[in-house]
Structure 1
Amino acid sequence: MAYAQPAGSEKVIQRPVSTAPIRKELAAADVQHAAPAKDSLLVSGWQKYKDEQLLRNPGGDHYYLEENRVSENPRDRESFLTRLGKDLSDSFGNVNNFFGNLLMGSKFRYRDENNMIREATQRGLVGTCVDFVKDLGSALSFGLWHPGDEKGPQGGMERLSHVGSKLKKALLDDVVEGIPQSVNHMAKNLALAGLNLVQVLPDATIGNLERGRTLTTTLFDNGQVMVEYLTDVIPSGDAWFRVHASSLLEGNVPILYNLQMSENSKGDARWQYVRNTPFRKTIETVGTILADIATIGLAGQSGFSTNQNGDKQRLLNSLLEH
């Protein structure tokens, strides 16, 4: 489904944060981390994408989200207890985010146009349902009940406009997008929490060797990025909504609308917290289209199986009658 969406519901929380730039990727699994890039313009699309995905949820071996920093010091992972402690802490952090996304919302980190780490919040399932009740109630009361607004609509035309705006927000922003996204985020948190626990074993064994730590970090950091990507491009994922977005007033159709967006876009939560680089646009568009094809195929297969079962049941009933 394609539709335009107003400014997002995710609220930015400004606070002192680290200006630590993105760390450069390894050329191979057994190479030490390179020095961090000094200018985000020098960082590739893949590096920006991976950095943003590791900032999104706990799990990155060199990402300390509670401190809003990315460490470049390999000595941080030399301690046995420190490695295992971070794995368990990351798992707990994802479980905590699961309940946040189930209830009123959870925090996440992102990089702004100046390459600084910022913090924002995303709505949870209960919070979205509360917003739906407020928006629908405000629409049905023609603005007489206007929670969150200092002043309600005045006059007949203004009230009619208010009804249309609130109905659109309740149905599209809250029901069509908000609820599925919250469920998607919850599933992602559970998958990442499990991945963090699995990492405890290699960190406790081969993690005692330098090359083992490098290999473990590479495998599990990339594994987290893969989980983030797959849950983003399936229906209800963040990337899925970006790719299917459109602007009817401007004549922009789905897919092309996202491809035309600049790397740093403000005013819409779907793009505000990501750097929409050509690399991100490409992999998210391809992944979303493939997910749509798979979804249609599964739906068709399910319908075909249902028809087959119905035919078999009718044949069985016919034989029993005779």
Structure 2
Amino acid sequence: MKDNLEDLPTESVNRLTETIDIVTTEEKLRIINYEDKKIAHLIEEEIPTISRVIEFTVSSLRRGGRVIYVGAGTSGRIGVIDASEVHPTFGEKDAFVAQIAGGREAFTSSVEGAEDSREKGCSDILSLEISDKDTVIGITASGRTPYVIAALECASKIGAKTVCISNVKMAAARKVVNVSIEVETGPEVIVGSTRMKAGTAQKMVVNMISTVTMIEMGKVFKNLMVDLVASNEKLVNRSIRIVELATGVFHEEARKVYELSGRDTKVAILMILDGIGKEEAKNKLQRNNGILSRILESNGFSQ
């Protein structure tokens, strides 16, 4: 896996940034910004492929499975960050989980050699007790990290859907996965520093996957986070604001119904728009898999 590292686009020299060490601070920033601007357009080319992945993730969650990110170094940390943000944002606990080479210690510091262990890649993914209901998403800039490849191979043998997010075309990982998302970000501003453009692209892709998956699961009404976990006063106020925006009532009415709902944003919205009590609202949501728009459309409300 280490042979011919220089052949990878992510490891080649960026001729546009060779003077970055001698130009002004502002020019350094403009150079980095210029390179970063390319990423969204590159991801746009992969949207049909990302859409296929979301079919997997939604199917997994609807069947009681999970979405599992696996990676090493920067790529692993990106998976941990995205998975950890799903619960507070969308109220869905343990739907997205992450495994990083080297374990918890590797999230804040480098664990040398962890990414090279195929044995650990397989054993770590198996320790999560994966099943054929799960979708396992490997994240690797090079598309060939041994730890990630082994984890994907082991997940495939169990019957899980497998995906790789990489920053090269024709990634080695495509041979072992169902779908390969390949956002070729090219030479980095600093040679080989894939925490830069490659990492940014990976973060954007996992954001898209988790966000659209949660939208499909009914965790968003219009463009509002109706299932967020209000774990502090700021988020309580945000929840009340969401009730206001979703229903058009004034702040005091939104706050009153929000408290009556048991501080459940979705229940409060349905209580107001449908003119029903807390228990009836909860029952309706349960019958409709928590999808507000489905209930309201059947009652003749238009968004």
TM-score computed with the length of structure 2 as normaliser: 0.25
Larger relative contact order (Cα-Cα within 8 Å, sequence gap ≥ 6): 1
Which is helix-richer, 1 or 2? Answer: 1
Largest Rg, 1 or 2: 1
